[in-house]
Amino acid sequence: MSITPADIRGPVPFDTDHLDRLLDEAGIDALVVTSQHNVQYLLGGYRFFFFDTMDAVGISRYLPALVYRKGRPEQAAYFGYAAETDERDLGKFWPANLNFAEIGSQQTMRHALAHIRKLDGVRRIGVEAAFLPTDAGDVLRRGLPNCDLVDAVLPLERLRACKTAEEIAHLREASEQVVASMLATFARCQPGMTKLEIAETLRREEVIRGLVFDYCLLTAGTSLNRAPSGQRLVQGDIISLDSGGNYKGYIGDLCRMGIVGTEPDAELEELLGFVEDMQQAARKVVRPGARGGDVIEVAERMLNASPHRKYTHYMAHGMGLVTHEAPRLINSTRMSYEAHDAERPLESGMVVSIETTMSHPKRGFIKLEDTILVTDDGHESLGDGGRGWNVNH
């Protein structure tokens, strides 16, 4: 294929050498990337606004696709929808090869297939198996009978594991604004207010702060039910707010505690104090070069020695464009992944969510969740306010 580096429309926004090494280790010659989060990453933050919150259209779906050949970024190609030509005119794309035509998963993959057929020497193609629709995958398999399709989720995740300065700024903004939204919501909680109203208040607070609201898990009183509902607050209820709000695709995922109209009693102070001690013990381990699994084990040892063991749960996971991304530190059947990074060292730029959850049989749901950045000389907590009992008088 006669393409030269000069054909690239703009600077490549990721480390191509790093990606090439990861693909070489996985034995992959070329990628077909179809998840919105990895397409966004490889295009330097671009996400088509029209399909930002949904992808169904007509009898098919919007399916962005980026083809990347190992060692040859000038042969990269992006395939999207006709309306994205307006974004092209604004200079949003670095690949030289762009195709914006009819919409649909099979249609997109036919265009990607035509491009791949022009690339000599491609035998193993990496796809994102969990993000490739069956009909689009069938187009690739039928059109490339002499090629192997292999899952490339792991090398793409490794590429995103250490965040750039811009990504860190987005995560910091997301985390700080989620916490600010929670504090504003606690201040508005009153007896008689429903959990549905609390969730809507938090949603509005996040939106006015420039976030995209993802979800709100919340409890009130002694109930352990975290779904928004018609349950009404009463004087003295404790409240947990666990919310994800994202800024430019990067997720702020934190949990804070409040109480309605009264000061917490000594037992509540002790219980949240234990949760905080767990969080701080885990945070102290976070630094470059530390074994990833130590973030889990130091907290588990502390929990095993505590009388709160039987109703308390601890976990830690990576954060970024995806919740529970690398570093993956525990074997989690519930989240369908294994502890790939437990024996690997933490690296500067990684971001870890640390969470301790207490489902107390008498006092209710008590939790803190924090977002911790691995820095060159230790760690930094993103969005670290409101960690105690936030009292609304």
b vs e for 171-203, b when ≥16 Cβ sit within 10 Å of the residue's Cβ?
A: bbbbbbbbbbbbebbbeebeeebebebbbebbb
Given a contact cutoff of 8 angstroms between Cβ atoms, the answer to whether 213 and 245 are in contact is yes
pLDDT tens digits along 303-347 = 999 999 999 999 999 999 999 999 999 988 888 889 999 999 999
pLDDT tens digits along 227-286 = 999 999 999 999 999 999 999 999 999 999 999 999 999 999 999 999 999 999 999 999
> What residues contact residue 219 under an 8 Å CB cut-off, 6+ apart?
225, 226, 238, 239, 240, 364, 365
* pLDDT given at position 186: 98
Residue 289 pLDDT > 70: yes
pLDDT tens digits along 194-210 = 999 999 999 999 999 99
In order of their start, the domains of the chain are 5-160 (3.40.350.10), 165-392 (3.90.230.10)
Tell me how far CA of residue 378 lies from CA of 133, 151, 346, 350, 359, in angstroms: 41, 34, 10, 11, 31
Q: pTM for this structure? A: 0.94
Whole-number Å distance between alpha carbons of 37 and 246: 12
Using CA of residue 133, residue 134, residue 138, residue 139, what is the dihedral sign? negative
Tell me how far CA of residue 41 lies from CA of 91, 161, 177, in angstroms: 16, 12, 22
* pLDDT given at position 7: 63
Q: What count of other Cβ atoms lies within 10 Å of the Cβ of residue 217?
A: 17
* pLDDT given at position 334: 83
Whole-number Å distance between alpha carbons of 2 and 8: 13
Residue 3 pLDDT > 50: no
* pLDDT given at position 91: 93
Residues of the chain with pLDDT > 90: what percent?
93
HEC per residue, the chain: CCCCHHHCCCCCCCCHHHHHHHHHHHCCCEEEECCHHHHHHHCCCCCCHHHCCCCEECCEECCCEEEEECCEEEEEEEEEEHHHHHHHHCCCCCCCEEEEECCCHHHHHHHHHHHHCCCCCCCEEEECHHHCCHHHHHHHHHHCCCCEEEECHHHHHHHHCCCCHHHHHHHHHHHHHHHHHHHHHHHHCCCCCEHHHHHHHHHHHHHHCCCEEEEEEEEECCCCCCCCCCCECCCCCEEEEEEEEEECCEEEEEEEEEEECCCCCHHHHHHHHHHHHHHHHHHHHCCCCCECCHHHHHHHHHHHCCCCHHHEEEEEEECCCCCCECCCCCCECCCCECCCCCCCECCCCCEEEEEEEEEECCCEEEEEEEEEEEECCEEEEECCCCCCEEEEC
Residue 6 pLDDT > 70: no
